[in-house]
Amino acid sequence: MGFLKLEKITKRFSGSLAVDHLDLEVEEGEFLVLLGPSGCGKTTTLRMIAGLEVQTEGKITLEGKDISDSPPERRDMAMVFQNLALYPHMTVFDNIAFYLQNIRTPKETIEQKVRQAARQVGIEEFLTRYPNQLSGGQRQRVALARALVRCPKVFLLDEPLSSLDAKLRAGMRSELKLLHRNLSQSKERKGTFIYVTHDQVEALTLGTRVAVMNKGNIVQLSTPRDLYNKPRNLFASTFVGSPSMNLIEGSLERENGSAAFIFQGNRIALGEIGVAALKRANRAQMPAILGVRPESVKIASPGMTGALAAQVVTVEPLGQNNLINLQVGDRMLIALVSPDLAIHEGENVNVCFQPQATHLFDPQTEENLLG
Binding residues vs another protein (CB under 8 A): 50, 52, 71-73, 77-79, 81, 83, 85-89, 98-99, 102-103, 130-133, 146
The DSSP string of 231-270 is: -SBHHHHHHSSSSPPEEEEEEEEEETTEEEEEETTEEEE-
**Rounded-to-integer distance, Cα 277 and Cα 284, Å:** 10
Q: How far is the CB of 74 from another protein (least distance, A)?
A: 9
Of 24, 32, 33, 40, the one binding ligand ATP (CB under 6 A) is 40
The DSSP string of 273-290 is: HHHHHHHHHT-SEEEEEE
**Rounded-to-integer distance, Cα 335 and Cα 351, Å:** 9
* Residue 250 binds to ligand ATP (criterion: CB under 6 A): no
**The entry of ligand ATP, Mg ion, another protein, none that residue 102 binds, CB within 5 to 8 Å by partner kind:** another protein
**The entry of another protein, Mg ion, ligand ATP, none that residue 146 binds, CB within 5 to 8 Å by partner kind:** another protein
- Other beta carbons less than 10 A from residue 79's beta carbon: 26
Question: Which 3-state string (H, E, C) describes 26-51?
Answer: ECCCCEEEEECCCCCCHHHHHHHHHC
- Residue whose CB is less far from Mg ion, 136 or 339: 136
* Residue 43 binds to Mg ion (criterion: CB under 5 A): yes
**The entry of Mg ion, another protein, ligand ATP, none that residue 67 binds, CB within 5 to 8 Å by partner kind:** none
Of 5, 42, 75, 180, the one binding ligand ATP (CB under 6 A) is 42
**Rounded-to-integer distance, Cα 239 and Cα 335, Å:** 17
CB 215 within 8 A of CB 18: no
- Residue whose CB is less far from ligand ATP, 38 or 132: 38
Q: How far is the CB of 169 from Mg ion (least distance, A)?
A: 17
Site for Mg ion in 78-97 (CB under 5 A): 82
- Residue whose CB is less far from ligand ATP, 19 or 100: 19
CB 359 within 8 A of CB 227: no
Q: How far is the CB of 16 from ligand ATP (least distance, A)?
A: 5
Interacting residues of 76 by C-beta distance below 8 A, sequence separation 6+: 152, 153, 154
* Residue 273 binds to ligand ATP (criterion: CB under 6 A): no
Choices 33-41, 113-121, 168-176, 322-330; region in contact with ligand ATP by CB under 6 A = 33-41
**Rounded-to-integer distance, Cα 307 and Cα 36, Å:** 35
**Rounded-to-integer distance, Cα 161 and Cα 52, Å:** 22
Site for ligand ATP in 90-149 (CB under 6 A): none
Q: How far is the CB of 158 from ligand ATP (least distance, A)?
A: 7
- Residue whose CB is less far from Mg ion, 85 or 304: 85
**The entry of another protein, Mg ion, ligand ATP, none that residue 320 binds, CB within 5 to 8 Å by partner kind:** none
Of 31, 43, 240, 349, the one binding ligand ATP (CB under 6 A) is 43
**The entry of another protein, ligand ATP, Mg ion, none that residue 282 binds, CB within 5 to 8 Å by partner kind:** none
Interacting residues of 57 by C-beta distance below 8 A, sequence separation 6+: 8, 9, 10, 21
- Residue whose CB is less far from ligand ATP, 216 or 250: 216
Outline where 269-370 has alpha helix (H). 272-281
Find the helix packing angle between 136-148 and 107-121, rounded to 10°.
130
Q: How far is the CB of 146 from ligand ATP (least distance, A)?
A: 19
